[in-house]
Amino acid sequence: MATVAFDQWRREAINSEVQAVNCRAAAALFDFSFMSVLRISGRDAASLISQYVNRDLSRMPLRSIRYCLHSDSVGNVLSDLTVWRVNDSTFDVMSGEIRDVRNLMKQSSSNATAEDLTDQTAIFSVQGPMSLATMMPICQDRILAELGYFKFGDLDIHGVPARVGRLGYTGERGFEIVIDTAHAKSLWTALSGHINVASFAVADILRIEAGFSLFCNEFEVGVTAKELSMDRFVDGPDNQVLGLKSLVCFSATAKEKPILWQRPQSGVSIPGPGELLATSACFSPLTESVLGLGYVARQEEYSALALIDPLGQFEDIKLRQRPYFDPKKQIVLGGWDDNFEPVPRT
* Sequence-ordered list of residues with C-beta below 8 angstroms from that of 74, at least 6 positions apart, any chain: 241
**What does the pLDDT look like over 258-271, one tens digit per residue?**
999 999 988 888 89
Long-range contacts of 68-73 (CB under 8 A, 24+ apart): 68/233, 69/225, 69/230, 69/233, 69/234, 70/100, 70/103, 71/224, 71/225, 71/234, 71/238
pLDDT at 303 over 80: no
> What does the alpha-carbon distance between residue 121 and residue 325 come to, in Å, rounded to a whole number?
31
Highest mean pLDDT among 79-93, 133-147, 265-279, 285-299: 79-93
pLDDT at 90 over 90: yes
Q: Where are the domains of the chain?
A: 221-320
Helices marked H in 5-123: 6-25, 45-53, 98-106
Highest mean pLDDT among 90-94, 267-271, 297-301: 90-94
Q: What is the mean pLDDT of residues 45-63?
A: 97
**What does the pLDDT look like over 217-260, one tens digit per residue?**
999 999 999 999 999 999 976 666 667 899 999 999 999 999 99
Whole-structure pTM value: 0.92
> What does the alpha-carbon distance between residue 80 and residue 75 come to, in Å, rounded to a whole number?
13
> What does the alpha-carbon distance between residue 53 and residue 91 come to, in Å, rounded to a whole number?
13
* Sequence-ordered list of residues with C-beta below 8 angstroms from that of 14, at least 6 positions apart, any chain: none
* Sequence-ordered list of residues with C-beta below 8 angstroms from that of 11, at least 6 positions apart, any chain: none
Measured in residues, the chain has a length of: 346
